[in-house]
Amino acid sequence: QGRGTSTVTPRALQPLLPLHIRRAQAPLTPPTPPRGRLPRRRPPGREGGASRAAPRAECRAASPPPCCAASPRRAGDVTAQVSLQPALKFNGGGHINHTIFWTNLSPNGGGEPKGELMEAIKRDFGSFANFKEKLTAVSVGVQGSGWGWLGYNKEQGRLQIAACANQDPLQGTTGLIPLLGIDVWEHAYYLQYKNVRPDYLKAIWNVINWENVSSRYASCKK
């Protein structure tokens, strides 16, 4: 070939040429950015480091301050504590009440208590018959759902009868220490007694575990 004519080596022979010749004959193409990253483009009208600083400032402004982001979980958040009280009262109270209720019952129960508990019942209610009548009447009178209770007033050193609505725990509601609880939610007796609560309350005395009630009474006096 004559002078002034560019020489291009066939592609099949290019691997045999020295590296500096292969680079000289390579077509001019823009560099390829690394995979997964795009080349950074400066916004029009911004120079130098200003274009890099602006996005970081915008990100900081868009993110909530640490104090605001963490505030719902901070210790001592009274608003959060108050908002949880209804759920704690219902679910926690239901757990406490039923835990006592199951131990208050026994297939071998019934009859009358003995020892110190019987003496305290006679002292504070006149007789065991009067005590049964009063606790039954209070339990029948619960409007809707709730519990009838025999509790111990530690400050006065005497037994008391009380009723609590829904799943309200006796001690947290009245300050009395629970000894005997009677569940008068309708689901507690409907399968056997339908909606006749007095029949259920008449029958429940046949399964009261007085040993458990007496043990609770002895413990709360210590």
Averaged over successive runs of 10 residues, the pLDDT of the chain (222 residues) comes to 47 54 56 59 54 46 48 74 91 96 97 97 98 98 97 97 97 97 96 97 98 97 86
Q: Could you tell me which residues come within 8 angstroms of residue 64 by beta carbon, excluding any fewer than 6 positions away?
A: none
pLDDT, residue 29, reads: 56
Give this prediction's pTM. Answer: 0.65
Rounded to the nearest 5°, which phi and psi values hold at 77?
-75, 95
pLDDT, residue 76, reads: 81
pLDDT, residue 75, reads: 74
Q: Which fold has domain 107-220?
A: minor pseudopilin epsh fold (3.55.40)
Candidates 92, 197, 89, 194; CA nearest to 140 is 197
Angle at 153 between CA 215 and CA 181, to 5 degrees: 55
Domain ranges, ordered by start, for the chain: 107-220
